[in-house]
Amino acid sequence: MAVCIAVIAKENYPLYIRSVPTQNELKFHYTVHTSLDVVEEKISAVGKSLGDQRELYLGLLYPTEDYKMFRKLHNSFTDVMCNPFHNPGDPIQSKAFDGIVSGMMVQTG
């Protein structure tokens, strides 16, 4: 289970960010932001090695993460993007997406 899930735009601003222990929100934001460096590194590495083969899942930032989680999240994200009323680049405010994320979050209480 995840404690913080974030969807970040190409330009590095958060489209969606949510974390479960709300008192530590700031810390999570910092963590997510800093980990973008790793993502960037991985993206550039993928671009070099695989060429056109676009593998969306970049791998693990931390070894306990679950691949299924990513697929689920990505499917939901795709749904959000398919919404004709969604303006790409806007923060995500979809209820369905929120629900998926909540399901993936740690159940507290």
List residues binding other proteins (CB under 8 A). Answer: 11-14, 25-26, 29-30, 33-37, 40-41, 44, 91
46 versus 72: smaller Cβ distance to other proteins = 46
How many CA atoms within 13 Å lie on the side-chain side of 30?
Answer: 4
CA distances from 36 to 64, 82, 100 (A): 18, 25, 23
Q: At its nearest, how many Å lie between other proteins and the CB of residue 9? A: 8
At a CB cut-off of 8 Å and minimum separation 6, what does 17 contact? 4, 5, 6, 7, 28, 29, 32
Nearer to other proteins, 44 or 102 (CB): 44
Q: How far is the CB of 71 from other proteins (least distance, A)?
A: 26
Nearer to other proteins, 11 or 52 (CB): 11
Which C-beta is closer to other proteins: that of 40 or that of 65?
A: 40
3-state secondary structure of 6: strand
How far apart (Å, rounded) are the C-alpha atoms in residues 17 and 101? Answer: 10
For residue 62, the minimal CB distance to other proteins (Å) is: 16
Q: Least distance (Å) from other proteins to the CB of residue 29?
A: 5
Dihedrals phi, psi of 62, to nearest 5 degrees: -145, 135
